[in-house]
């Protein structure tokens, strides 16, 4: 098994002194600004000492995070005693120090990936173990030293996967479902901006159109942003047509239907009427049209049609009775006057005939004092309407012969 190294990473600050205590359980840390602390475990054990308790920083600045990682050195590199730790993305500068006892000038060369000046600008994805050979030369002889460069992974931005496009209809709720992971297992905070300020948004009937929503996932150090196109389709709201009451008219009267209609989308509405109504929703009834009718009324907003029906009751127009012509009558005193009144009703109603004037009935027996000219009115009524006719009656004087009175 390879030797394990305990790497204590203090972000933004650097350890300049790490002094293990005799009990090998505590250590004093003096921190200034920016590097990596390496604490090696004893060679004869794979145990990693616990680092617990309070850390005292000899600086006014406090680190944003103290992160403890264990790095297991591969066995092939176990014999390399000189190690250099860095985090990918940093520039590593190797500054070897060699002594030439002859006082000769020393030049250094470095194996890849370092340049001839001992510098390497690392990038994300370079994390790993690198055996670097540093060669010191005095122009005559060379000496080499292997250095193990341990390049730790830098904090990676969260991996955020969101749908490119979401479609829904007006009135529906927008739900934004994104998958996000963090290589370091950090807790992620999501932020929504643009058209939606949260993961869920209720749409209204004025939201039709294309909108952009931005989702940001952050681990507190790095963030990833995704853009979602939200297409809200127009949802037609049907016209609302108030129910019709039954329309009642009498033959000969005009029927006019006036629908009460509203449309929340303020669409232009087209109203059409079925028989017996005309294009304006009107019907001029005539005699003989009595009955019950059902007319259709259709309201269209150009996308949908609402159909309603209206009941029309046409009552029969009452016609007055028909009274046949009655001729003038001439009788002599003592005779009976008979008025021959013949009346009919077009509607089949019962007809009552009355006589008003000199007579109060259709027959009257005259007396010898009735000689003269008279006018009476004959009226035929169906209970609602009536028809009247004046009749002229002449009662002629009739001579009566003398009558003897024989005394007792």
> What pLDDT was estimated at residue 193?
97
Helix ranges, 153-223 (H): none
pLDDT value at 22 more than 80: no
- Segment 236-261 shows an average pLDDT of 95
Dihedral over alpha carbons 168, 171, 173, 176 (to 10 degrees): 40
Domain boundaries, the chain: 4-152, 159-233, 240-315, 322-396
Q: Is residue 84 within 8 Å of 149, Cβ to Cβ?
A: yes
Token pair 């250094």 is found at 108
> What pLDDT was estimated at residue 385?
92
Q: Give CA–CA dist 39/61, Å, rounded.
A: 23
pLDDT value at 78 more than 90: no
Strands 329-332 and 386-396: parallel
Tokens read off for 345: 């009703």
- Segment 287-298 shows an average pLDDT of 95
Q: Give CA–CA dist 375/359, Å, rounded.
A: 9
- The mean pLDDT of the chain is 85
Q: Is residue 320 within 8 Å of 342, Cβ to Cβ?
A: no
CATH of the domain spanning 4-152 = 2.60.40.10
Q: Give CA–CA dist 320/344, Å, rounded.
A: 9
Higher pLDDT pick, 62 / 256: 256
Q: What would the pLDDT profile of 227-243 be if each residue is shown by its tens digit?
A: 999 999 999 999 999 99
Q: Is residue 253 within 8 Å of 316, Cβ to Cβ?
A: no
Q: Give CA–CA dist 304/238, Å, rounded.
A: 7
CATH class of the structural domain 159-233: mainly beta
pLDDT band at 42 (very low <50, low <70, confident <90, very high): very low
Burial of 102 (0-12, 13-18, 19+ CB in 10 A): exposed
pLDDT value at 101 more than 50: yes
pLDDT band at 402 (very low <50, low <70, confident <90, very high): confident
Matching fold, domains 4-152 and 322-396: yes
> What pLDDT was estimated at residue 347?
85
pLDDT band at 69 (very low <50, low <70, confident <90, very high): low
The DSSP output letter for 83 is E
pLDDT band at 47 (very low <50, low <70, confident <90, very high): very low
Instruction: Pick the closest to residue 83 from 46, 129, 122, 42 (CA basis).
Output: 129
Instruction: Pick the closest to residue 28 from 54, 6, 5 (CA basis).
Output: 54
Q: Give CA–CA dist 114/309, Å, rounded.
A: 90
Q: What would the pLDDT profile of 117-166 be if each residue is shown by its tens digit?
A: 999 999 988 999 999 999 999 999 999 999 999 988 888 899 999 999 99
- Segment 85-104 shows an average pLDDT of 90
4-18, 94-108, 204-218, 347-361 — which is least confidently predicted?
A: 4-18
Q: What would the pLDDT profile of 353-388 be if each residue is shown by its tens digit?
A: 999 999 999 999 999 999 999 999 999 999 999 999
Q: Give CA–CA dist 144/155, Å, rounded.
A: 34
CATH of the domain spanning 322-396 = 2.60.40.10
Q: What would the pLDDT profile of 29-40 be if each residue is shown by its tens digit?
A: 433 333 444 444
Per DSSP, the three-state class of 77 is helix
Topology of domain 240-315, per CATH?
A: Immunoglobulin-like (2.60.40)
16-30, 120-134, 289-303, 317-331 — which is least confidently predicted?
A: 16-30
pLDDT value at 395 more than 50: yes
Strands 82-87 and 142-152: parallel
> What pLDDT was estimated at residue 70?
67
In sequence order, the β-bridge partners of residue 343 are 323
pLDDT value at 55 more than 60: no
Beta strands in 183-328 (DSSP E): 189-194, 200-202, 209-218, 223-233, 240-241, 247-250, 254-256, 261-262, 270-273, 282-284, 291-300, 305-315, 322-323
Distance of CA 257 to the CA centre of its chain: 35
């Amino acid at each position: 098994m390879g030797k394990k190294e305990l790497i204590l990473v203090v972000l933004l600050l650097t350890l300049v002194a790490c002094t293990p205590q005799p009990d090998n359980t505590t250590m004093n840390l003096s921190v200034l600004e920016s590097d990596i602390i390496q604490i090696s475990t004893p060679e004869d054990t794979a145990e990693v000492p616990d680092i617990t308790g309070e850390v005292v920083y000899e600086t006014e600045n406090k680190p944003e995070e103290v992160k403890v990682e264990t790095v297991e050195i591969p066995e092939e590199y176990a014999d390399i005693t000189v190690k250099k730790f860095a985090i990918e993305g940093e520039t590593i500068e190797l500054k070897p120090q060699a002594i030439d006892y002859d006082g000769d000038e020393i030049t250094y060369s470095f194996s890849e990936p370092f340049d001839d000046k001992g510098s390497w600008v690392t990038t994300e994805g370079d994390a790993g173990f690198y055996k670097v050979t540093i060669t010191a030369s005095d122009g005559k002889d060379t000496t080499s030293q292997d250095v193990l460069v341990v390049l730790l992974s830098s904090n990676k931005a969260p991996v955020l996967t969101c749908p490119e496009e979401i479609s829904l209809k007006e009135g529906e709720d927008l739900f934004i479902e994104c998958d996000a992971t963090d290589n370091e297992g950090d807790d992620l905070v999501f932020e929504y901006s643009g058209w939606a300020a949260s993961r869920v948004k209720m749409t209204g009937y004025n939201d039709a159109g294309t909108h952009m929503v931005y989702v940001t996932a952050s681990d507190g150090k790095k963030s990833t942003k995704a853009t979602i196109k939200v297409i809200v389709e127009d949802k037609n709201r049907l016209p609302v047509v108030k129910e019709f009451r039954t329309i009642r008219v009498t033959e000969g009267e005009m029927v006019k239907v006036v629908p009460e209609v509203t449309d929340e989308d303020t669409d232009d509405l087209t109203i059409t009427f079925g028989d017996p109504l005309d294009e304006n929703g009107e019907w001029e009834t005539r005699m003989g049209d009595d009955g019950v009718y059902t007319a259709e009324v259709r309201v269209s907003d150009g996308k949908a049609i609402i159909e309603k029906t209206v009941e029309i009751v046409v009552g029969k127009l009452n016609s007055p009775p028909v009274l046949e012509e009655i001729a003038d009558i001439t009788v002599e005193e003592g005779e009976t006057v008979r008025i021959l009144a013949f009346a009919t009703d077009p509607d089949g109603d019962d007809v009552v005939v009355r006589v008003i004037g000199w007579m109060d009935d259709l027959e009257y027996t005259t007396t010898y004092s009735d000689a003269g000219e008279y006018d009476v009115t004959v009226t035929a009524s169906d209970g609602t309407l009536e028809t009247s006719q004046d009749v002229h009656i002449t009662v002629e004087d009739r001579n009566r012969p003398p009558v003897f009175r024989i005394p007792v």
